[in-house]
Amino acid sequence: MKRGHFITIEGNEGAGKSTIAVMILDYLRTKGLEVVATREPGGIAIAEQIRAIVLDNGNTAMDGRTEALLYAAARRQHYVEKIVPTLEQGKTILCDRFIDSSLAYQGYARGLGIDEVMSINAFATDGGLPDLTIYLDVDPEVGIERIHAHGDREINRLDLESMSFHHRVREGYLQALARFPGRIRRVDANPGVEDVFVEVRAVLERYFSERE
Ligand code: TYD
């Protein structure tokens, strides 16, 4: 059986990831693909339990490496229990956040080092990477403003970080993009959602046309 497509969506806070993810899901299903949508940290019971620890507003004492290892541990379990078996059944995976979140947040923004974080993640996924990553790039001021304006999502421990942290996250994503230019596709997420999706759809069309 032909292995399914492994697609991830990434972005800094308030990039509109969840809304665009729903539109991507719809696009992929319209193409006739069988798609499983999932997210990190989480996606399966063990990883959701780790998610609760890592995003707990009370855990302000959490060390940066502890955080990176917890994300990688959650990823490992999600990868072997859900992502790989689903791909092997020929289904497409659409995952909200994956390794590049760790590179941007832990590797760059927390200063642990992109290479160091890449190596624990390579251990977690046996070196496996997505086939395509869509990175929604929003100006951090615009992103945080959107989160506050909507008030439709609980503010978590990472949202509470300073503005300079969010700028570093964006810089971290740009570094990941420079490292994986073929896999990661950047889309400007500052305009309204309809305009952003026009660009996202173009990225998807190009990806599929290169494979068909
Ligand atoms: P979540 O509530 O899923 O937020 P979002 O809608 O922004 O995806 O929270 C996930 C948070 O965890 C988010 O702030 C990014 C962070 N994160 C990391 O720092 N490293 C990682 O590897 C992952 C997967 C997430």
Q: What is the pLDDT of residues 52-87, one digit of tens each?
A: 999 998 999 999 999 999 999 999 999 999 999 999
Distance CA 12, CA 167 (A): 9
Question: Cβ-count burial of 162 within 10 angstroms (0-12 exposed, 13-18 middle, 19+ buried)?
Answer: exposed
| Ligand 1 touching residue 38 (CB < 6 A) | no
Distance CA 1, CA 192 (A): 39
Residue 197 is which amino acid? F
Pocket test for ligand 1, best of 51, 54, 101 (most atoms within 8 A of CB): 101
The Å distance, Cα 128 to ligand 1 centre, comes to 20
H or E stretch covering 68: helix 64-78
The Å distance, Cα 212 to ligand 1 centre, comes to 33
pTM score of the predicted model:
0.95
Burial 111-128 (b: 16+ CB within 10 A, else e): ebebeebbebbeebbeeb
| 199 pLDDT tier (thresholds 50, 70, 90) | very high
Mean pLDDT in the chain? 95
What domains sit in the chain, N to C, each tagged with a CATH number? 6-209 (3.40.50.300)
